[in-house]
Amino acid sequence: VLEGFIEEELGDQRHLQAMVRQSPSWARQRLRDMAAEEGERARRLMAIYYLITGECYRPSISSERITVGRWCAALRERAIMPQLATA
């Protein structure tokens, strides 16, 4: 279960980093900050994993390029849709 949370945070970080490349200049720093927050949560979860198991977690690294498509639609998908799913 913990591995899934780690992978989810890292996946979110990768998507936000991809969005930075296609976003308007006024939004880039905020997206970078959000990606850094996701990365920090993943690092904390990996530390917890280490404390529980005594082993370093090795995330699965995907080499495929993330294509964001239209920026506004991608932002809605990454920010709004998860909130609707939990409501």
Q: What is the mean pLDDT of residues 44-65?
A: 90
Q: What is the mean pLDDT of residues 41-69?
A: 88
Judged by phi (left if over 0) then psi (alpha if -120 to 50, else beta), residue 35 lies in: alpha
pTM above 0.95, yes or no: no
Residue 81: pLDDT over 60: no
CA 72 to chain centre: 17
